[in-house]
Chains A and B, each alone.
Chain A
Amino acid sequence: MMNVLELHQVRKTFGSHDVLKGVDFCVPAHSILGFIGQNGAGKTTTMKLILGLLPKDAGEIQVCQETVSFGNTKANRHIGYLSDVPAFYDYLTPYEYLQLCASITHMSSADCKRKSEELLTLTGLWQSRKKRIATFSRGMKQRLGIAQALLNEPDLLIADEPTSALDPIGRKDILSILTQIKDHTTIIFSTHILSDVERVCDSYAILHDGIIQRHGSMQSIKEKASNRMQLEFMNPESMQHFLSKTQFSTKICTDTELQITHDNMSQLQSKLHQELLQQKLSLRRMEIVEPTLESLYMEVVK
């Protein structure tokens, strides 16, 4: 599959502060990439580099096989951009704003009308299309931001923390819009809200300390062999009994729950069954703990 976005060894320094120390990643077409990192990890910087709004110190960025350079907005015709708190002209209506954007991207007026109507409907702003943007809530502005980003049917949508400044309903709206459009567009969105990534993304990339520490598909996290087992006992006494006899190293979660870590899952299971049988203990629940994005993230950041 073709890569819509490729970054090779991208570096960026602000003064004496190394923000990016060689970032590498690719985004294949028609996928949603969750770009994860702490506040100040350099997510916004990376995105601005991709957009050519900042000059990079080293490395190469390609959007749809076209090299990006600072101040030159040619590669931007493939990109739709949505910033974390998009600023609009308060005195325009959303429809007028979209018209302005359309003229900049050389759209015909018929296309502009059709596309604006489609996007205002998609983002649920059709009712407010004649109101001034000044009267809009944050969530509405964010949805208008998506509409303007999608206006020229970009191959790549870059959304910088689109959900961070929003209330739960606003967040849900944005995420559902993102899943609706992923058939036509490749999306990369940065966030520090891991549940958002788990909800909509196909793959993830974790930026920490100036480099991409982990990346892969969401599927691969689930497929990654688990090495942990969680047990829940009927009552605290039986758990104490188990703990006093067991040969495994355990981590106690609550007074009836504990976790066991072991390299070989099948061996662990058979030995565990034997132990339980010998001690005549019964369990309420026994399950393999799936690795999550959170555990992965914690491993990297800790």
Chain B
Amino acid sequence: MNAYLAFLKKEFYDYLRSYKLFVLMMVFLALGFLNPISARYLPEVAASLLPDGIQIQLPQPEVMDSWAQFYKNISQIGIIILLIVFSTMISNELQKGTLIHLLTKGLSRTTILLAKYSSALLVWTCCYGISFLVTYLYNFMFWPLTNVPHLLLGIFCIWLFGCLLLALLLLGGVLTKTSIGSLLCTGGFFLICMGMSLFPPLQEIQPAILITNSISLLQGQSLPADYLVPILLALLLIGISLSSAVVIFRHQQL
């Protein structure tokens, strides 16, 4: 436990002093502001750019537009930057050999991976939470009616998918010892999910539905029950990736 906490602390020194946390915080904070503002003003800006005399009927922006922006921005830019920043989390250590001395002091390899994963989860959760809070507060300011159905479930779906991608990133890093390998492993998984979505029976259960489709939950086009299987599958995949990463790492020659 002591060793776990010490390694966790070391990870946070890394995030702070290598500007990783700073970059992520800024990106997610900016996304948080961007969602409501672009939903609120984009129609007006678009209208003002049209030549005089042309009138088009613009839909009144509503809170749902802001959440649609939130889903789109977080699941694209947000997650991509998250993955890029964390892609080096294990490959750097393996390439530089910084773990050798710690291993010879009796630090267990399982502890290393668990500390790495939980620190990444903590950062992801905080950044995501900040983004969510900012969007939520701004929505509150712009639109009196901010209540949307199943908001928290939709938020949870994206968070869970982020957790799954981080676990895959760790597995890819252990397997290939490079950051590119980490990203390819995660990207490959996403492509498989997309491939699965082409076949009707698999469409409903593939976990990428958690980020590609969860806005329909808010709009009432799908029901929470539809997400049960993908959520369970995502949890199962997190468990499998982490445990296989641990097993592989324990038998690796460093």
**A contact set with B: CB distance below 8 Å:** 51, 53-55, 71, 73-74, 76-77, 79, 81, 83, 86-89, 91-92, 96, 99-101, 103-106, 132, 145, 148-149, 151-152
Q: Classify chain B's interface size.
A: 20 to 34
With A104-B107, A106-B2 in contact, is A148–B17 under 8 Å at CB?
no
Pairs of residues from A and B, 6 with the lowest C-beta to C-beta distance, nearest first: A103-B6, A91-B17, A81-B104, A87-B97, A73-B106, A87-B96
- Looking across the interface, which residue of chain B has its beta carbon closest to that of A132? B17
- State the Cβ distance, B43 to closest chain A Cβ, in Å: 46
Q: Could you tell me the distance between the alpha carbons of A69 and B2 in the complex, rounded to whole angstroms?
A: 24
Please indicate the chain B residues that have their CB under 8 angstroms from the CB of A53 in the complex.
100, 103-104, 253-254
Please report the number of residue pairs spanning A and B whose Cβ atoms sit closer than 8 angstroms: 81
With A92-B10, A100-B10 in contact, is A76–B100 under 8 Å at CB?
no
Q: Which of A71, A77, A132, A152 has the most CB of B within 10 A?
A: A71
B233 touches A (CB below 8 Å): no
Q: Could you tell me the distance between the alpha carbons of A127 and B109 in the complex, rounded to whole angstroms?
A: 34
- State the Cβ distance, B113 to closest chain A Cβ, in Å: 14
Q: Could you tell me the distance between the alpha carbons of A83 and B2 in the complex, rounded to whole angstroms?
A: 25
Q: What are 16 A-B residue pairs whose CB atoms fall within 8 Å in the complex?
A: A53-B103, A71-B251, A81-B101, A83-B101, A86-B101, A87-B96, A91-B17, A96-B13, A100-B102, A103-B3, A104-B3, A104-B6, A104-B107, A105-B106, A132-B17, A148-B101
Q: Which of B9, B18, B101 has the most CB of A within 10 A?
A: B101
- State the Cβ distance, B254 to closest chain A Cβ, in Å: 6
Contact status A92-B106, CB under 8 Å: no
Contact status B100-A104, CB under 8 Å: no
The B contact surface, by secondary structure, is helix
Q: Could you tell me the distance between the alpha carbons of A81 and B105 in the complex, rounded to whole angstroms?
A: 8
Please indicate the chain A residues that have their CB under 8 angstroms from the CB of B250 in the complex.
71
Contact status A55-B253, CB under 8 Å: yes
Query: From residue 63 to 106 of chain B, which have CB atoms closer than 8 A to chain A?
Result: 96-98, 100-106
Contact status B103-A73, CB under 8 Å: yes
B124 touches A (CB below 8 Å): no
Contact status A91-B13, CB under 8 Å: yes
| Per-residue contact bits, chain B 13-53, to A (CB 8 Å; 1 contact, 0 not) | 11001100000000000000000000000000000000000
- State the Cβ distance, B251 to closest chain A Cβ, in Å: 7
Q: Could you tell me the distance between the alpha carbons of A77 and B3 in the complex, rounded to whole angstroms?
A: 14
- State the Cβ distance, A168 to closest chain B Cβ, in Å: 26
B7 touches A (CB below 8 Å): yes
Contact status B251-A99, CB under 8 Å: no
Contact status A105-B105, CB under 8 Å: yes
Please indicate the chain A residues that have their CB under 8 angstroms from the CB of B148 in the complex.
none
- Looking across the interface, which residue of chain A has its beta carbon closest to that of B11? A89
- State the Cβ distance, B88 to closest chain A Cβ, in Å: 13
B108 touches A (CB below 8 Å): yes
Q: Could you tell me the distance between the alpha carbons of A174 and B46 in the complex, rounded to whole angstroms?
A: 70
Please indicate the chain B residues that have their CB under 8 angstroms from the CB of A92 in the complex.
10, 13
Q: Could you tell me the distance between the alpha carbons of A145 and B17 in the complex, rounded to whole angstroms?
A: 22
Contact status B98-A87, CB under 8 Å: yes
| Set B7, B13, B17, B98: member contacting A88, Cβ < 8 A | B98
Q: Could you tell me the distance between the alpha carbons of A254 and B198 in the complex, rounded to whole angstroms?
A: 88
Please indicate the chain B residues that have their CB under 8 angstroms from the CB of A145 in the complex.
101
